Amino acid sequence: MNKLYFKIKLKQWLGKLKVRRGTAERAINRQEYRVFSQHREDGIIDYLLNAIDDDIGKFVEFGFAPDQCNCLNLAVNRKFSGLFMDGSETICSNAVTTYKQLNLTGVQVQNAFINRDNLNALISDAGITGEIDVLSLDVDGNDYWLWQALDGIDPRIVVIEYNATFGPDDKVSIPYDPTFVRYDAHPSGFYHGCSLSAIENLGKLKGYKLVGVDETGVDAFLVKQNLCPDIPAVSAADCFKDNRGRVKYKKLSRAEQRAVISDMPVVDVADNEGV
């Protein structure tokens, strides 16, 4: 067994201690905890699944690391099946080896550079169609355009990265580029993805309500409009959080971050203009 196997097994055991079943707390940030997620998304996802209280047992995640992602906790501790996809051959190879050792027989790993022309086929070729529990989307680039193009599955919960540098108000995304690589596009790493308002707007068009963001200002959480009636919708303006890493550790205000990428193009997606 490799080191990654034992690392995941330890996190699996610790994760079982953290799960809060049936909690009545409504503010999603009070539910945050980390098992395998990069920040504390695992707790929010568990909370939303418990609020729905009727697992299908399926997930799809675009962009992951073998021991750090938003859906591994679902596979390991909830026994979900699903699909992980990433453009890194090394990441996918390590995941295949380790997940086999963990006996995660329902989990598939696909090595592919995902774009809006191939993502639906990649998912359907994996045998995943219709309603699923969770879609997690974090590709550091075309996140908005990929979710917009997705039509082969119907996720109950969507977790999608937003770019806090774009602020809470503007409905903007980077232009679609199937070959986009974040740090090649701009060395700061600030130029990627889309704003929280763009996600809220697209979510409404697809039948979702925005229910909040994580405390680090990285991921947005949306739920189907007809689910979780006790969890209220919130606006992007009300729940927006700045990216903690950029403000606290890089010591750059949002205005300073925006100035760094001021010469980079964005698309106003308020009315799907330019789409």
pLDDT digits (tens, 9 = 90+) for 50-104: 999 899 999 999 999 999 999 999 999 999 999 999 999 999 999 999 999 999 9
> Does 133 reside within a domain?
yes
Query: Does 32 map to a domain?
Result: yes
pLDDT of 49: 96
**117 is a domain residue:** yes
In Å, the largest CA–CA distance within the chain is 52
* Region class of 176: left (phi > 0), else alpha (psi between -120 and 50), else beta: beta
Q: Give domain status of residue 273, yes or no.
A: no
Q: Where are the beta strands (DSSP E) in 140-265?
A: 153-161, 172-173, 208-213, 219-224
Predicted confidence pLDDT, tens digits, the chain (275 residues):
677 766 665 666 555 555 554 444 457 888 889 999 988 899 999 999 999 989 999 999 999 999 999 999 999 999 999 999 999 999 999 999 999 999 999 999 999 999 999 999 999 999 999 999 999 999 999 999 999 999 999 999 999 999 999 999 999 999 999 999 999 999 999 999 999 999 999 999 999 999 999 999 999 999 999 999 999 999 999 999 999 999 998 999 999 999 999 999 999 998 654 43
**Domain encompassing residue 160:** 3-268
In a domain, 102, yes or no: yes
107: number of Cβ within 10 Å = 22
* Residue 275 within any structural domain of the chain: no
Q: Do the domain assignments include residue 36?
A: yes
The number of domains in the chain is: 1
Q: Amino acid identity of 246?
A: R
Nearest to 105 by CA among 125, 141, 79: 79
pTM of the predicted model over 0.75: yes
Asked if residue 58 is part of any domain, the answer here is yes
Q: What is the CATH number of the domain that holds 13?
A: 3.40.50.150
